[in-house]
Amino acid sequence: MTVYYHDILYSGNNTANATSAAVTKPAAALSLSHWKNGTFFGLLVVFDDLVTEEQALSSEPVARAQGFYFYDKKEQYNAWMAFSLVFNSTAYTGTLNLMGADLMYEKTRDISVVGGTGDFFMSRGVATLSLVAYEGTVYFRLKMDIKLYECYVAA
C-alpha cells in the first residue's frame, strides 16, 4: 500500500489549514544554538494530518494520521514519531499504528508498523518513508510505502 502523508504546521497565519502544531519549545539553554542551526532539538509537534492515495493535497483522503513527533538529535535534523493511520473509507476501516526514528538525512527510512485494528487487526510490518515535497518549515509531504507481514482477517 502506498499513501501520502501531508503535514501543514501551524505558523500563526494559517489557522484554517493547519493540521499540526508545535506544543512545546526547548529549554532556553538548548533552544538558542539548536534552533538557529535548524535541528529544532526538543520541539514536540502534535498532528492530525491528511493521508491520500494520490500526491496532491486536494485529492480524496483515505485516512488521517494522528499522533506526534519530536526532534531528538542535537547535531542533525532528526525526529522520532508515533501515530495511528485512522482509516474510514469504503476500501478500509480500522487503524494502523506506526512508530520509530525518522532519520531525516536519509533518502528513505523505515519505521515500524506495530499493530492495528479493524481491517488491520494485529498488523505488523514496515513503512518506508521518503520526502516528496516541502515548503520551508510549514508544509511537507511524505510518501509512505507500507508492507504488512502479519495481518489477521476476522472471520
Q: Measured between alpha carbons, how far is 147 from 149 in angstroms, rounded to an integer? A: 7
What's the pTM value of the predicted model, to 2 decimals?
A: 0.85
Would you say residue 67 has pLDDT above 90?
yes
| pLDDT 10s digits, 83-121 | 999 998 888 999 999 999 988 889 999 999 999 999 999
Element (H, E) at 132: strand 124-135
Residues 6+ apart with CB under 8 A from 57: 6, 50, 141
Query: What's the confidence (pLDDT) of residue 39?
Result: 66
- pLDDT at residue 54 tops 60: yes
Contact by Cβ (8 Å): 64, 91: no
Backbone angles phi, psi at 30, to 5 degrees: -90, -35
Adjacent-strand bridge partners of 134: 140
Look over the chain and give the mean of its residue pLDDT values, rounded to a whole number: 86
Residue 38 pLDDT class (50, 70, 90 cuts): low
